[in-house]
Amino acid sequence: MTIDELIDDFAYLEDWEDRYRYVIELGKDLEPLADEDHSDANKVKGCVSQVWLRTDVSKGDDGTPVLHFTGDSDAHIVRGLIAIVLTLYSDRPAREIVATGPDDTFSKIGLDEHLSPQRSNGLHAMVQRIQNDAASALSDAGLAPA
């Protein structure tokens, strides 16, 4: 699924209860995170619920880092939020990840208006972690964020 398809799906759902159910459904489709990846090293700081993100780095056709993320949470709604964040950032070049802010997408979906402050902070903590991992991948490859 692309981020544009996700935005369209949210636009189709008028009621926020339906949208919350959809977020939970998205979480059910997450790529599984291995038991050993539920570690302190993968835990996202700043989330009220437990959230783990694993980052795998490969090289794209042009030799620049491409990041793939898998994630999990102990909360159903947060698993869905992880799915949204991964739709926005996973399997993209590190430079794109660093340059892509989430606010426009979150606004189009309506997350900025309908999440509690704690969930919103956790969501932004996930994005910050992903963008930091992308910046580190660029640095490790001897590249500037551009």
102: its two tokens: 């989430």
Question: From CA 79, how far away is CA 23, in angstroms rounded?
Answer: 8
Catalytic residue, candidates 44, 47, 53, 111:
47
| CA 83 vs CA 21, 32, 90, 130: distances in Å | 13, 11, 10, 13
Q: Report the b/e string of 90-103 with b at 16+ CB within 10 A.
A: bebbbbebbebebe
User: Which one, of 5, 118, 146, 136, lies nearest residue 65 by Cα?
Assistant: 136
CB atoms within 10 A of CB 7: 16
Is 47 known to be catalytic? yes
Strand-strand pairing, 51-59 and 65-73: antiparallel
Q: Catalytic site residues?
A: 47
